[in-house]
Amino acid sequence: EMSEMSERSKQNVAHGLAWSYYVGYLKIVLPRVKKSMEEFSRANPNKMACKETWKLHILIPLSCDICDDLEKADSNIRYLTDLTETTLTRAGIQKRVYKHSLYTIRDEDKLWHCAVEYATPLQSLYAMSQDDCAAFSREDRLEEAKLFYRTLEEILKGSKECVGTYRLIAYEESGEAETHFLSREILWHLRQQRHEEYAVYEGNQSPNPSTTLSSTELNLQMSESDLPRPLRSDCF
CATH number of the domain at 195, please.
Answer: 3.40.50.12100
Structural domain includes residue 177 = yes
Structural domain includes residue 219 = no
Structural domain includes residue 97 = yes
- Judge whether 100 and 29 are in contact, CB under 8 Å: yes
Position 23, amino acid: V
Structural domain includes residue 221 = no
pLDDT, residue 201, reads 43
What pTM value is reported for the model? 0.80
pLDDT, residue 81, reads 94
Contacts from 192-200 at CB under 8 Å and sequence distance 24+? 193/50, 193/52, 193/53, 193/55, 193/167, 194/50, 194/52, 194/53, 196/52, 197/50, 197/51, 197/52
Position 97, amino acid: V
Structural domain includes residue 214 = no
pLDDT, residue 102, reads 95
Structural domain includes residue 101 = yes
Q: How far apart are alpha carbons 110 and 118 in whole angstroms?
A: 24
pLDDT, residue 88, reads 87
Number of domains in the chain: 1
Range of the domain at 172: 13-203
Of 74, 53, 61, the C-alpha closest to 189 is 53
- Looking at the chain, the number of H-run helices and the number of E-run strands are 8, 7
Of 47, 43, 21, the C-alpha closest to 166 is 21
pLDDT, residue 175, reads 63
Structural domain includes residue 65 = yes
Structural domain includes residue 72 = yes
Position 107, amino acid: D
Q: Please, what are the averages of pLDDT over each run of 10 residues along the chain (236 residues)? A: 47 86 96 92 82 94 93 95 89 90 92 95 88 74 92 96 95 78 94 73 46 54 44 36
pLDDT, residue 177, reads 67
